[in-house]
A and B are shown apart, each in its own frame.
Chain A
Amino acid sequence: MRHVALTVNGVGHELELEPRELLVYVLRDRLRLTGTNVGCDTSSCGACTVLVDGESVKSCTMLGVQADGTEITTIEGLATDGELHPVQQAFHDHHALQCGYCTPGMVMAAVSLIDHGQATSEAAIREGLEGNLCRCTGYHNIVVAVQAAASAS
């Protein structure tokens, strides 16, 4: 077991982790933050995307012990004071989710893309979201929503 201290959505946690525990399972099983979903076992789908020190990371590609000392934002930490984050609001306004399973990861990836100033065109958004798979929407409305959120920011 290894001692790990990390901050998730502004809350500090001290954990004793097995070295093999993936960050996504630390979030889901240890901290019960189940908004971050698991969609694959090959780091392909992006459903588990979170922000680690502001960078978008597939949380299945990172061990919990590697997150020692980091600040993590998950989908649960995005809305503030009951107000949806502009990306969440844009997803709602433009019907950019259907089943909602890829949505937390997709939203986090989009937030990162916009924060880094990379959501500059439809093509850039499509390339920027390449690591996040959705099987319901055909991405059409996701791209529309991210464009809308990016132009409002």
Chain B
Amino acid sequence: MSATEERTAYVGSPVKRREDEHLLTGRGTFVDNMAPVGTVHMIVVRSPYAHARVTSVDVAAAREAEGVVAVLSAADLAEDWKAAMPCAWPVTEDMRNPPHYPLTDVARYQGDGVAVVLAESRALAKDAAELVEVEYESLDAVVDLATALEDGEPLAHPDLGTNECYVWRLDTDATGEAIDDAEVVVTRRYHQPRLIPNAIEPRAVLAVPGAAGDVTLYAATQIPHILRLLAAATLGMSETKVRVVAPDVGGGFGSKLDVYAEDLLAIALARRLGRPVKWTEERSENYLATIHGRDFVTEYTLAARKDGTITHCRARVHAAMGAYLQLVTPGIPLLGAWIYAGPYAIPNYSVEFTGVFTNTTPTDAYRGAGRPEATYVIERTMDALADELGIDRLDLRRKNFHKEFPATMGSGLTIDSGDYVASLDRLLEHLDHDALLAEQARRRDSGAVKQLGIGFSTYNEMCGLAPSRILGAIRYAAGGWEQATIRYLPTGSVQVVTGTSPHGQGHETAWAQIVADQLGCELDAVEVLHGDTSVSHAGLDTYGSRSLPVGGVALCYAAEKVIDKARQIVAHQLEVSGDDLEYANGTFAVKGSPDKEMTVAAAAWAAFAAHDLPDGMEPGLEATATYDPPNFSWPGGAHAAVVEVDTETGDARLVRYIAIDDVGKVVNPLIVDGQVHGGITQGISTALYEEGSYDEEGNLQTANLITYLVPSAAELPSFELDRTESPSPTNPLGVKGVGETGTIAAAPAVINAVLDAVSHLGVKDIQMPATPERVWRAIQEAKA
């Protein structure tokens, strides 16, 4: 193609995914599909008690069982660990972080590992695990977040003398007015239930020892690079001796963004035994042994003038850490810390987080991580404030939206771009609000059994983790950059190496779209490599909706370097100055002589042959760029839920869900819509279905897919999506993150709709999830 010909861009097109075919035909490379010769299968023996001292572990019978290779307790492996399990985010200087190890002799949550059994097959290992006799001395457990800091409560870590992990504050006092002096003050208290992520592929690891003291760890992980670093550190190995491969990974949602005991056990045992060691989590085990999300109790206050101008917001949050700090456990609240004013211009801002230990599975990142917790309390309290003021709930939102961008928020960070009014307007174009209100009025008047509710959530969020300097300022241990390499092969094929690590997001397709446009080549000429630390040497992996706004943007800068070098080669070969060349669509043309041109691919061959390159130029056409974003990414939008509530049974059913999101420029609308569908569903499910709960002794009551409701297609409607577009001015693609928007926005829209359906009956509050029982009780209490 010549430099002047029009070329249709791949970016923006609904390109079908290249990832699909092997997954659709049963050729996925998930870890559990791997079975190298000589593999030993590992089973972890777990504490059935939430808090207990292990007084003895008798492994004699298990060691004698058929096919058993080894049985080891915490004491047997104590020398293998050179450091405790890693937490990368000491959010305050005095944060309490009691050390913990892959196996323990004091169990602090139900499921804490106390021994491992290795055998020639998984079945034999399971059989032998039943023969391991562990004696426990049961200790009092602290379970309930709401009361865990009260005097006399049991302590998860008695040595600490408290269940408090840390207190972290962010306060601005812009106007000097006290919040309690405001004309209208509304305070509400919310519990956000513990959620269990349930990626459909449970975790799995396979550690294969090499000949030189090295180990390759195949892991169902979102973070091969971070895992390599921290596995090496914990085991006292050189990073050069640890290779981590993330093959096809079956979903993550944050739950595979961690360094887990089993990762380290598999490596340590593969080294000890000189054989591949494999562990595959069972689903019920996943409920105990993989991190949980949320579990916040929040008191949230909005203060306003009578005309609806909001002057203050204040959040007082208790966040459950669980029994130990996993990779980023204490930092999860902070990921929402700057957006407790939502998309509204609220000058006075105060947030306080208290991290609390309980004898429960550790919490950590789950889709949205800190931001759904913020959006939920804001959007529910906005409705309450509108009620209190007697102002329409949408008018109150409109009045307080940030309207000029870039917008510096009360919390101090700056939103790069957005148009919250446009998103809400677009939402109303789709909603047919008046007709819904008329129908609602009709049902209310007739006392219909099924009442109709309409709920809104206008939101923004900060993602695209993250500017390294800001991460440093908030005490995160590492940076937030991402790396990309673009390499021309001699015949013009292009290899792209990315540090992002997809597990369903479609990076192979989307990254090829970006690079093909930059280099003016065919999509099929571009191959995208990822997820293997021996191929992708540097990267910070996939989480926090960072892959496109950080890793995708890194591709552009790598392409720029490739094109710059190609320009020098072409200028040399055509005997013109580089300034005399115009670049477009993969071709350099000499200004004023349009027939004199040369493609980047031809330059790549010239760079490979190296017969005639400019003096001093290295052969080869390849470049690496490492991109550190100057700002977070700031998506926003407006969502609406329409629900029907059966006032006799309390059953709340979603009838319609409309999502208008502004995620900047869209690379692949198919993929973006898919992300929004999935995100919304997890938010809806938070609102209506999911709750991880423990009894008073710390036994997980919702310990499998029967007792914990992950919705099926039958519980959900189809979704109505549209977009507004405010390109990000901070990157050349104009893109923002999209992976978490739906989850962040959806829960309050749904709960606001449920409340709207029954508010005329006097119901003022329903906590999540709005199960039939909860809704029914709320209606009965309002009647009484």
The chain A residues found within 8 Å of chain B, CB to CB, are 18, 20-21, 28-29, 32-42, 44-45, 47, 74-76, 78-79, 84, 88, 91-93, 95, 97-104, 107, 122, 125-127, 129-144
Contacts and interface: CB of A to CB of B under 8 A. Distances in A.
Given A135-B199, A141-B677, 13 more contacts: A28-B33, A34-B30, A37-B32, A40-B704, A42-B704, A88-B24, A92-B21, A99-B504, A126-B712, A135-B710, A136-B200, A137-B681, A138-B680
B445 to A, nearest CB: 29
Interface string B690-723: 0000000000000011100010111010110000
B113 interface: no
B25 to A, nearest CB: 6
Contacts of B137: none
Closest 9 CB pairs of A and B: A35-B26, A101-B250, A100-B23, A99-B504, A138-B681, A44-B705, A98-B504, A75-B26, A40-B283
Given A92-B16, A95-B673, A100-B248, A126 B713 contact: yes
Contacts of A20: 123
A74 B712 contact: no
B678 interface: yes
23 contacts: A18-B123, A20-B123, A28-B33, A35-B26, A39-B200, A76-B26, A92-B20, A92-B21, A93-B16, A95-B671, A95-B673, A99-B248, A99-B251, A100-B20, A100-B248, A100-B250, A103-B24, A107-B24, A133-B712, A139-B681, A139-B716, A140-B716, A143-B713
Interface in B166-216: 198-202
Contacts of B28: 34-35, 37, 100-101, 104
Nearest to A84: B24
Given A41-B282, A126-B714, A99 B250 contact: yes
A121 B714 CA distance: 12
B495 interface: no
A97 B23 contact: yes
A105 to B, nearest CB: 9
B251 A135 contact: yes
Given A35-B28, A138-B678, A143-B713, A98 B704 contact: no
Interface of B: 16-17, 19-21, 23-28, 30, 32-33, 35, 123, 198-202, 248-251, 253, 282-284, 503-506, 670-671, 673-674, 677-682, 704-706, 710, 712-714, 716, 718-719
A104 B26 CA distance: 6
Nearest to B198: A135
Contacts of A131: 712
A140 B718 contact: yes
Contacts of A38: 32
A122 B713 CA distance: 10
B174 to A, nearest CB: 40
Contact of B251 (A18, A104, A136, A139): A136
A20 B23 CA distance: 29
B639 to A, nearest CB: 13
Contacts of A29: 35
Nearest to B20: A92
Nearest to A29: B35
Nearest to A108: B26
Q: Would you call the interface of chain B mostly helix, strand, loop, or mixed?
A: loop
Chain A interface SS verdict (over half):
loop
Contacts of A36: 26
A41 B284 contact: yes
Nearest to A35: B26
A110 B719 CA distance: 20
Given A34-B33, A39-B200, A91 B20 contact: yes
Nearest to B674: A95
Contacts of A41: 282-284, 704
Contact of A140 (B33, B200, B719): B719
A34 B284 CA distance: 21
A125 B714 CA distance: 8
Central interface residue in B505, B678, B713, by most chain A CB within 10 Å? B713
A101 B253 CA distance: 14
A139 B506 contact: no
A77 to B, nearest CB: 9
Contact of A39 (B21, B202, B503): B202
A32 B24 CA distance: 17
A63 to B, nearest CB: 13
B25 A130 contact: no
B704 A132 contact: no
A93 B15 CA distance: 10
B16 A42 contact: no
B758 to A, nearest CB: 25
Nearest to B251: A99
A122 B506 CA distance: 27
Nearest to A82: B25
Nearest to B502: A99
A100 B504 contact: yes
Given A75-B25, A100-B23, A127-B714, A95 B678 contact: no
B74 to A, nearest CB: 26
A20 B719 CA distance: 43
Contacts of B25: 35, 75-76, 78-79, 84, 88
Contacts of A140: 677, 716, 718-719
B24 A101 contact: no
Given A100-B250, A101-B30, A44 B706 contact: yes
B729 to A, nearest CB: 29
Nearest to A47: B200
B313 to A, nearest CB: 31
Given A41-B284, A103-B23, A130-B714, A95 B16 contact: yes
Contacts of B20: 91-92, 97, 100
Contact of B249 (A75, A97, A99, A129): A99
Nearest to B707: A42
Contacts of A134: 200, 713
B141 to A, nearest CB: 25
A107 B26 CA distance: 11
A65 B356 CA distance: 51
